[in-house]
Structure 1
Amino acid sequence: MQRGPPMLHGSCLCGNIRYEIRGDPGPAYYCHCSRCRKAGGSAFASNAVVAAQDFVIVSGQDSLKTFSTKEGVHRDFCGNCGSPLISRRDALPDMVRVRMGTIDTPLQQGPGAHIYVASKADWHAIHDTLPQYPERPPAIGKR
């Protein structure tokens, strides 16, 4: 009998919102763009690309809040504790970017690249050997 992809579980800081990723996550990366820095309050965000159909809120839907930009980017977060959970783009409706820090299931592999390093925080230095891209490379987000 063949098994499907492992299911990943995640939640916000207060635990009110719980979600499942019911498929393999796609590429993961560290995003250094100014929007990710503002949304997370840190030097970068750790994101995994997931098929939108595979990301399912299993409890706490009523606590989910969304901030939307005029460019069609939507950031979903917990209205109780403020944890950022996912971001979505109108231009790429078949995928979401999950904030990896909210995934509760242990992961075997972390992000594989740094993106938007041309706009990274001046006070942060990258010390690993992962590939660095000044913007978003074509392969990320085109799932």
Structure 2
Amino acid sequence: MKGKCLCGAVEFDIAGQLPSLYQCYCSLCQQQTGGSHNTATLVDKANFSWLKGQASISTYQKDTGFSSHYCQGCGCSVPNALGSTGKYWIPAGLLEGPVTSKVVLHLHLASKAPWQAMPSQGHQFDSMPDLSAIINLLGS
């Protein structure tokens, strides 16, 4: 499955089946997206490849370690390696074509925006569970 940023400067490909999706409602994801949550998944590095535009990617990093990788042209969040986990973080909104994967996991619900309705399906966590639990629940 291919994906790209809004302006098309950054493109990537994911081999194999796309894992399930998660939504994170933490304050950082709210600020990063300008909305109530971020929807994403994690894929193995071996299944991820850049097609073009790596030179167009910039990074913003907070003192806390939180980082955001984005296209210099359009500002879209773009995939990035998730530390030393062997995974890439993939923002679901960049994926092209029909995405059949479902949201199965909701993170940081204790921080959700007051206008955001409580999700009715999937595993729900008030904070961040262990990364291995997330990887297991996503099937990635």
Same fold flag (TM > 0.5): yes
**Corresponding residue for residue 22 of structure 1:** 15
1:79 equivalent to 2:69? Answer no
- 2:60 alignment counterpart: 67
> How far apart, in 2, do the equivalents of 1:140 and 1:125 lie?
22
Aligned to 2:44: 51
Unaligned segments of structure 2, at least 5 residues: none
1:36 and 2:29 matched: yes
- 2:96 maps to a residue whose letter is D
Q: Which runs of 4+ in 1 moved over 6 A?
A: none
- TM-score, normalised by the number of residues in structure 2: 0.84
Whether 1:113 aligns to 2:83 is no
Closer, same or farther: CA 129–141 of 1 in aligned 2, 3 Å: closer
Tell me the TM-score normalised to structure 1 length: 0.82
Asked if structure 2 preserves the Cα contact closer than 8 Å seen for 1:88 and 1:97, the reply is yes
The one-letter code of the counterpart of 1:119 is S
- Pick closer, same or farther for the CA change 1:63–1:46 going to 2, 3 Å: same
Query: What is the alpha-carbon distance in structure 1 between the residues aligned to residue 45 and residue 31 of structure 2?
Result: 24
Structure 1 position 75, deviation (Å): 2.0
Aligned residues: 135
Structure of higher RCO (CA pairs closer than 8 Å, 6+ residues apart): 2
Q: Percent identity?
A: 27
